[in-house]
A and B are shown apart, each in its own frame.
Chain A
């Protein structure tokens, strides 16, 4: 199964729109939404939940009030300011256990904390979607991303592709979204922020040695910046596989929870079709050289 991770660095460049449209174009695939802090893919795919389970992503210290002698040592030792007035702030606790080790009366224990849900859903067409919901304020979204990908592999049968809608940013969840994939598609936009963030995400995943491709969404919004992006990609040997117009249809589709497939004549839809042909070709060429 070929794995493709869609990233963007900056949020809101059209990552999920591209992912959702690809899901209507590509047959024989599983979709995984790894943006666990803002999972939007299944809002449009509208898959029915087949399985939903709790995810325990972190340990948290718990103080037993009956045993606690209020000596304050734990508060003094904690590097994360997670303890005050003999109470643990679970949002700040990293689960390191130092307070538990040092408590003179063994009043502290570490407990596994539920940090989110993992959900496996199927669309009307019987296609598989795996996603997760991180609880607001919880830690460890990268681990939840890893779990989503694991679940997607688990439910995979004969599917040819796994398409991953990745997390924004450059941190742990992004690295977890892109590690070990066959191809990365960065969806950017011709804005200074979009360009800066595209470069940052490229640097962040550089060590993975994965083929990177770029899609410039809303490319006609600012052709000068688009050109700069194209030049930058060319200098770095990164193929620009897609150019999607700033198309009112996309906005309309977004607002009405429609897929671009419902507007098959739209410019954006046809451009995404072309992009997929380019991606397929790169994957095939790569398979041959290996």
Chain B
């Protein structure tokens, strides 16, 4: 099977992005689940993968070689993030202000800057039956998971099966990094005014990136028209409605897959999977 990338996103957090991602990945059987919500990676709780390996994600930060440094201060002037400060006898480096852009390294006239790795997170790769699994995890105190997302993107570039990407919440640049190159985006929302507000932000983002998309209404059953009217106005298909049931909320709470506890949900995901694959082929 050829590689297709399907990204699941939501704008608002907690609408059921991970629920849709893991259940869809499991429904597809021969697929690749990728958790790009590196601040709160939770897909593993539902899939229980066997981890095959784990690797560090590093960024490069400058280190000054004082045998060569003349304290000319060119690096300090070049750094637009204030990560370097020149004192009388040394250059102070602030790791957590550094963006690893390499400007100081490139600018230094005396070759006095080395770049050394600093760990900001990890990527785990594993398997559950025929399903491949990857998740990224940002270390505490680190500001951005984008370098982890870049690394994950490299790992899934040549995968020969459908890739389901569980994206970060929100609409910031890390969402862009996780959904870039997608063949299709599934936008998960809930039928509340908040869900609608945040869905609209996500729709704007996906439109900007020219990726085809469809909507899944989670916790559906009451006031669904809120989302349906919006979808119609925007010309976006509502692909599926996942009904709200207390039983499902409870299954979720213990890390169970909804398709394994409810026949109705199982057939909803079956249809969702074939609809999305069908839409991509067109």
Contacts and interface: CB of A to CB of B under 8 A. Distances in A.
A–B direct touch, CB within 8 Å, in complex?
Answer: yes
A40 B194 contact: yes
Interface residues of A, number: 63
Contact of B172 (A98, A137, A190): A137
B144 A203 contact: no
Given A79-B100, A191-B252, A38 B171 contact: yes
Contact of A11 (B14, B78, B106, B191): B14
A207 B11 contact: no
B28 to A, nearest CB: 22
Contact of A222 (B103, B145, B254): B254
Interface residues of B, number: 55
A3 interface: no
A159 interface: no
Contact of B140 (A101, A138, A141, A170): A170
A221 interface: yes
Contacts of A59: 80
Given A193-B40, A221-B249, A137 B107 contact: no
Contacts, number: 179
A169 B40 contact: yes
Interface string B228-258: 0000000000000000001001101111000
A170 B39 CA distance: 6
Interface stretch (A89-97, A117-125, A260-268, A274-282): A89-97
Contacts of B42: 10, 192-193, 196-197
A25 interface: no
A161 B214 CA distance: 42
B5 to A, nearest CB: 18
Contacts of B197: 38, 40, 43
With a 10 A CB-CB cut-off, give which of A10, A16, A38, A197 has the most chain B CB atoms: A38
Contacts of A91: 173, 176
Interface in A45-80: 59, 77, 79-80
A172 interface: yes
B101 A94 contact: yes
B18 interface: yes
A193 B222 CA distance: 25
A98 B78 CA distance: 8
Interface in A5-24: 9-13, 16
B81 A96 contact: yes
B208 interface: yes
B49 interface: no
Contacts of A225: 253-254
B145 A171 contact: yes
A136 B144 contact: no
Interface stretch (B63-71, B87-95, B198-206, B271-279): B198-206
A139 B222 contact: no
Nearest to B173: A139
Nearest to B78: A101
Interface string A190-213: 111110110010011011000000
A13 B102 CA distance: 40
Given A101-B78, A222-B250, A134 B171 contact: yes
B271 to A, nearest CB: 25
Nearest to B197: A43
| Most chain B CB atoms below 10 A, which of A110, A139, A169 | A169
A255 B198 CA distance: 14
A242 interface: no
Contact of A192 (B100, B141, B191, B254): B254
Contacts of A101: 78, 103, 106-107
Nearest to A78: B101
Which 10 residue pairs across A and B have the least CB separation, nearest first? A12-B14, A11-B13, A96-B101, A37-B170, A169-B39, A172-B143, A11-B14, A191-B253, A136-B205, A222-B253
14 contacts: A37-B11, A38-B170, A92-B173, A96-B99, A137-B176, A138-B173, A197-B40, A200-B40, A200-B140, A207-B141, A221-B246, A221-B253, A225-B253, A225-B254
Interface of A: 9-13, 16, 37-38, 40, 43-44, 59, 77, 79-80, 91-92, 94-98, 101-102, 110, 134, 136-139, 141-142, 167-172, 174-175, 189-194, 196-197, 200, 203-204, 206-207, 218, 221-222, 224-225, 246, 254-257
